[in-house]
Amino acid sequence: MKLNSEMEQMLARVGCASLDGELADIASSGFVERDGCVFLTSLVSFQKHVSLKSFPDRTGYECFVNSIHTDDYVNADFLACALSYLSLVFEAWNKSGLPGVLQGAISGDEFDATVKFHLLRPGETWLSDDLEGYEEAVLTVESSDEAFLETYGV
């Protein structure tokens, strides 16, 4: 897991969140492949008017579709819910048997946390390597990160 100092400060104050309801359902909805990209089944249905040609690469397309704002689903504990949600997505991915490693990104502040994820691909990135260059709290983590899954799994 990589994070900037803003996220490090936020993580020091975050508790654990147990997910149920809509966020948990989205995370466990399964995956669909389209145009060499992987999407959560429940999120791809909301993005019928976009396609790969609308983006510079597959990573951008995946991050656009595979994006949620926790404040659309919960009223508090945004970061804790984002961490639990991403952990559920990774658990579903790791059980799916689909090839590749997902990289998740969480960004936010005390009013919201946004979660995006994409397949790791050579030559494509979502975020800069310098996470300190972002004003908001940011972290990236891979679906193969056992410590993340053990810490934030639900």
56-76 pLDDT, tens digit each: 999 999 999 999 999 999 988
Tell the residue number behind the tokens 């972002």, with chain if given.
Answer: 134
* pLDDT at site 154: 58
pLDDT above 80: residue 20: no
Counting residues of the chain whose pLDDT is more than 90, the rounded percentage is 79
How far apart are alpha carbons 144 and 146 in whole angstroms? 6
- Say if CB 104 and CB 144 are below 8 A apart: no
Tell the residue number behind the tokens 């979502």, with chain if given.
Answer: 126
State pTM to two decimals: 0.93
